[in-house]
Structure 1
Amino acid sequence: MKILKSIILALLIMSVGCDVDYFEDPNEPSTPPSSGVFNKAVQELVQDTRDVWFSGRFTLATMQMWQQSNYGDEDRYGYRESMRETWEDLYWNLENLRLVIELNEDEATAVQMSAYGTNEGQIATARIMMAWAFNLMADTWGDIPYWSYGDRDNAQFQALKLTSEEEILQPAYATQAAIYADIMSELAAAAAQITAAGEGFSEGDVIYGGDAAKWAKFANSLRLRIAVKLGNATEAADAIADGVFTSNADNAMFTFEGSDKNASPMYRSWNVDARSDFAISHQMVALLKGDNIQDTLGADITTNPFAGVADPRLMEYAEPNADGEYVGMPIAMTSAEATTITWESLPNRDNIIDKPDYASVLMEYAEVCFLESEVNGWSQTEYEDGITASMEKWGVAASDINSYIGTVPAADMENVLTQKYIALYMDGHTAWAEYRRTGYPATLLKPDVAGFPDGRPYAVFEPTSATYKYFIFIPIPAEITNELPTRMEYPDFESTLNTNNYLDAVGRLSDGNSLTSKLIWDTN
């Protein structure tokens, strides 16, 4: 009965935006192929976290990689409820990943599922993707309902039981400490499991095509990310020893299809929905040009560790404006003001917004290099390897890479972490976690700078008038005074649908269900 419930739920989910009909009889659902369930779950996970809402208006805007050119509220932390409701979408997709596991464990379906790859390999692959998603959710909200394959009987882990025999409709929120510890355990076990299986999915795996060795590297690399975030040196060393990414060929990427229907979310926004809501930020352009942001008197507001050094990634990240210049979008004071700016540079067309088959990165080799540099005391070798990997991924010429590396200052904490931020372009969520953990980069605008409670006026050169225009960064939420948000608020419906568990979780947060509560690893 349990697996029948799961199949019915999965078919309902997969029927949305999916051309495959898994019903032989309208009154009796057949068993869906695990490869199709997995493929759809991963596609939706990437779409939900890399779309114009959760990514464009939330993480990319918050980390000042992009800014909005039509609506400015989210740039100033006025997040809409739709951003928080990604929570619900993520749990639907996690339910499908759990179904992949059930289909490969249940005696009634396991043999049939083996046509799509080894049972153990499929289970391990689903575990790794669940770990990736749960880590993202914990990094966003803090305590959340959680489920574990390896510790499924843990009374604290009650999520994903909508279709189980227990049918827990109001799951407890597991603590962050328990979640992160279990995710690292899951990743280590899943890496060993898929290595022993020798194969993942034989079809339906867009990320690695069933390559067991690459999935194991992804698991170990993700474990390294979490271990460094938690300051767990032993776990970090073990992850590296077990085998992490060693080149860009290992990057975990989901490549979208070339058709309009299944193209990347950013392509669909610009080319199908005919919208143009985003531009590369003034702060990112200044960082890549080697400039500091200045106030009305010409004094520096931000500190660019690469001052005077032009980064060749600028032309890969952004599109020149109508005058052939790279000019970033400032944080506007109002949405109306944002629409008056017409000289901003868009994100790069060929690499991002006009590329239907854009490859969205879940984790990449450059990040691993910078993590290894940190583990090794800010080592120079891994620092240079990370810069090289990032530039090669974006198509920068070898001569330009060598010239840049020969010009930038040597590795130290600020330089490594600022280069990591640059390399994480388009992965605003990971950059947000890194900023909260470390306080870098120091090139982001904050609402309270040098004693200006409403934000220090900063200058942006307006090319159309050849004069400077001045902006003030005033956040919308009253609780934000001098920093970026440190978490996202829980969605409103949790307070009514899961009241007691919601209140327990809110009570464990340092500042309640607010944008200013800090997660357990946010100690800077």
Structure 2
Amino acid sequence: MKKIIYTITSLVLVSSIMLSSCTKNFTEINTDPNGTPTALPQQLLAPALVGALTNTMLRNRSFNNELMQVTVDPSDAEGRVFRYDYRPGVSDALYNGLYSELTNFKDIYKVASQELNYNKSYMGISLICQSWIYSILTDTYGDIPYFQSNLAKDSAIYEPKFDTQKDIYADIFSRLDTANVLLSAGTGILPSSDPVYGGNVTNWRKFGNSLYLRLLMRVSAKAEMAEFCKAKIKQIVETFPIMASNDESAILRWTGVGPYSSPLLSVREQDFRQPGLASFFIDHLSDWNDPRIDIPTYGVGGINRWGIAPYSGSYQGIPSGYAPGENPVKKCYFYSNTSSSSLMTEPLTGLMMNYAELKFILAEAALKGWISGSAETFYNDGALASITLWLPSWPKKITDFLTEADIQWMDSLTFDEKMERIHLQKYYALFLVDLQQWFEYRRTGHPVLPKGAGLKNNGVMPARMVYPVYVQSTNPTNYKIAVAGQGPDQIYTQVWWQKP
């Protein structure tokens, strides 16, 4: 018996010693000395930008381009976007994808604001990117979760309330003001972490202020926002740094190396070339002898930056919104090969905002008398920047091109005719820029689009995407409150800035 007790006592003693040895310095031993328990801003920025652009680019192709008569995916089936008819499931991907990336951008701000990793530039870049994404979300859906969004992990908020678009825009403006101040310090960031500007924080600041102008213009027609928007636009133009050249455009240029491969390569080649080009989009370019589709050195059918395949030696499109049964012949389409003539591999498709868009914003502001300067000069500069973004060495004088195409600025035009001229050129400047063509059309009614006999929704451009179906079951109380305040969860319900 004594022997048994001695053996048990010995085992307990040995076990205690072993247990003590195993738990001593446990945290230090089991922490990777080469890693970090929290991702750093320089680790998060590039993946978040790639993820966000992946979502915006794919919805630009399949949704914006169909609504805005860039392409027509011909079919007599139900749910054709070019007929203003689409299934609720179309809403899900953009909503899910952009909210997912917001978590990463918010983490960038949170980590960069901590004492150990304090960096004003990453904080400012985060606020700009959050503003960019939230603006796309609210302009697409209307009222959305904003102040309580992406807080499930930190605050256990699993059913965030929806905020009004008016309140969202007010806070976005506040964020962009803060970003401008933060970035003015010029704190350096790791160049390799930034696939948009290569670490140039001054250019990020210019992008943030240019984005500010885009969003101020968007809500400027609301009576309660008009004076603020006019004054702020004037202040930014006169005192804030904004984009000054194509080189300062906010573009993630796809290199094809590692993570920087274009999201359009994920589309099957046969699907990429399935939509035909719409008559509205291609006819103007053809009539103008626009160099973006026909570089004179090569002639029709040669290499062009927008990768458009000609039809029978010319550029022709499909009328958008055609009625079922009409079955027009598909003519021009976007090449789906992986050569330099295809948008699938084009480096410039990672567009967030370009310099030409800014110039057309300034042209509109000058036309309305909100800023000093010539609307004509801004218009000409915008048209030139729109072309030379794609063809930097284009030799022609822009006024000659515009005059030959009969789209030159003329003081004799009415205000509405000048707005049409600005926004027709802006339409082409916004080619491939997420859903901005759609947003601007809803804001201004320009450019004037032809109406096909097959359009649904009473022939009225859809005003929004519906909320994803799962939101109704996962956040039912706040969903019902949002619908009660904004209006029916239908494509015809206008968002706040569209309402009179």
Same fold (TM over 0.5): yes
Residue 191, structure 1, aligned to residue 172, structure 2: no
User: Which of 488, 495, 499 matches 1:519?
Assistant: 495
Could you tell me which amino acid in structure 2 is paired with residue 87 of structure 1? Y
**SS at 1:47 equivalent:** helix
Stretches of structure 2 that go unaligned for 5 or more consecutive residues are: 1-29, 221-228, 295-304, 369-374, 411-417
- Residue in structure 2 matched with residue 286 of structure 1 by the alignment: 283
Shift of 1:210: 1.7
Is 1:441 the equivalent of 2:447?
yes
Mapped contact 1:207–1:252 kept (Cα < 8 A)? yes
Q: Deviations over 1:460-479 (max 9, x none)?
A: xxxxxxxxxxxxx333xxxx
Q: Pairwise mapping of residues 54-453 of structure 1 onto structure 2 (< 5 A)?
A: 54-69=59-74, 73-85=80-92, 86-107=94-115, 110-111=116-117, 119-146=119-146, 157-164=147-154, 166-231=155-220, 232-240=229-237, 241-259=239-257, 262-271=260-269, 275-290=272-287, 309-315=288-294, 316-321=305-310, 323-331=312-320, 341-346=329-334, 350=340, 352-355=342-345, 357-377=347-367, 379-395=375-391, 397-399=394-396, 401-407=398-404, 408-410=407-409, 412-427=418-433, 429-442=435-448, 444-447=449-452
Quick one: structure 1 residues 47 and 334, their matched pair in 2 at CA, closer, same or farther if it must change by over 3 Å? farther
CA deviation vs aligned residue, 1:293-348 (integer Å, no higher than 9, x gap): xxxxxxxxxxxxxxxx443334343523353221223337589976x845333269
1:507 to 484, 487, 491: 484
What secondary structure sits across from 1:91 in the alignment?
helix
Deviation at 1:265, TM superposition (A): 2.2
Q: CA deviation at 1:388?
A: 0.5
Secondary structure of the 2:276 match is strand
SS of the aligned residue for 1:486 comes to coil
Evaluate the alpha carbon distance shift between residue 428 and residue 328 of structure 1 in structure 2; reply closer, same or farther with a 3 A threshold: farther
Change (3 A) 1:335 1:196: farther
Tell me if the contact between 2:124 and 2:183 (Cα under 8 Å) persists in the aligned partners: yes
* Structure 1 residue 226: Cα displacement: 0.8
Which letter maps to 2:275? F
Per the TM alignment, residue 372 of structure 1 is displaced from its structure 2 partner at its CA by 0.6
**Per-residue CA distance 1:166-201 (angstroms, 9 max, x = gap):** 211111111111111111111121021012143344
Instruction: Name the CA distance, whole Å, in 1 between partners of 2:189 and 2:89.
Output: 35
Distance 1:483 1:414 in 2: 19
Q: TM-score, normalised by structure 1?
A: 0.76
Q: What is the letter of the counterpart of residue 416 of structure 1?
A: I
Q: Structure 1 residues 347 and 332, CA, compared in 2 at 3 Å: closer, same or farther?
A: farther
Structure 1 residue 36 and structure 2 residue 17: aligned?
no
The residue type equivalent to 1:88 in the other structure is: N
Q: CA deviation at 1:289?
A: 3.2
In 2 relative to 1, CA 414–57 (structure 1 residues): closer, same or farther, beyond 3 Å? same
Q: CA 1:392 to 1:351, structure 2 compared with 1: closer, same or farther past 3 Å?
A: farther
Write the letter of the residue equivalent to 1:229: R
Query: Amino acid of the residue matched to residue 380 of structure 1?
Result: E
CA displacement 1:423-443 (0-9 Å, x = unmatched): 11122511111101110001x
> Residue in 1 aligned with 2:297?
none
SS for the counterpart of 1:414 is helix
Q: Which has the higher helix share?
A: 2
Q: How many residues align?
A: 429
Cα deviation, 1:337-396, whole Å, max 9, x if unaligned, reads: 76x845333269735424254441100111111111111116101000000000111217
Q: Work out the CA distance in 1 between the residues paired with 2:120 and 2:157.
A: 27
Give 1:30 shift: 3.1
Q: Structure 1 residues 191 and 71, CA, compared in 2 at 3 Å: closer, same or farther?
A: farther
Q: Is the 8 A contact 1:260 1:356 kept in 2?
A: no
SS at match of 1:489: coil
Alpha-carbon distance change, 172 to 365 in structure 1, aligned in 2, over 3 angstroms: same
- 222-231 vs 349-358, greater mean Cα deviation: 349-358
SS at match of 1:362: strand
Assess, with a 3 A threshold, how the Cα gap between structure 1 residues 71 and 364 changes in structure 2: closer, same or farther.
Answer: farther
Deviation at 1:276, TM superposition (A): 2.5
Does the 8 Å contact 2:144/2:162 carry over to 1? yes
Instruction: Kindly report structure 1 stretches of 4+ aligned residues shifted beyond 4 Å.
Output: 69-72, 259-262, 332-338
Q: CA deviation at 1:35?
A: 1.6
**Secondary structure, aligned partner of 1:217:** helix
Q: Cα distance 1:385–1:171, how it changes in 2: closer, same or farther (>3 A)?
A: same
Alpha-carbon distance change, 176 to 357 in structure 1, aligned in 2, over 3 angstroms: same
Contact 1:269/1:276 (<8 A) preserved: no
Q: CA deviation at 1:214?
A: 0.3
**Alpha-carbon offset, residue 84 of structure 1:** 0.9
Partner SS for 2:458: coil
357-366 vs 212-221, which moves further: 357-366
Q: Is the 8 A contact 1:257 1:263 kept in 2?
A: yes
Partner of 2:455: 474
Aligned-residue Cα RMSD (Å) equals 2.7
CA distance in 2, matches of 1:402, 1:355: 32
Residue type at the aligned position of 1:417: H
Larger radius of gyration: 2
Q: Conserved in 2, the CA contact under 8 Å of 1:267 and 1:356? A: no
How far did 1:92 drift? Answer: 1.0
CA contact (8 A) 2:141 2:466 kept: yes
CA contact (8 A) 1:446 1:484 kept: no
Give the superposition deviation at 1:88.
Answer: 1.4
Distance in 2 separating the partners of 1:265 and 1:418: 27
> Could you say if the C-alpha distance between residues 495 and 506 of structure 1 is closer, same or farther in structure 2, counting changes exceeding 3 Å?
same
* CA drift at 1:24: 7.1
**Residues 366 and 423 in structure 1, CA contact (< 8 A), matched pair in contact too:** yes
TM-score normalised by length of structure 2: 0.79
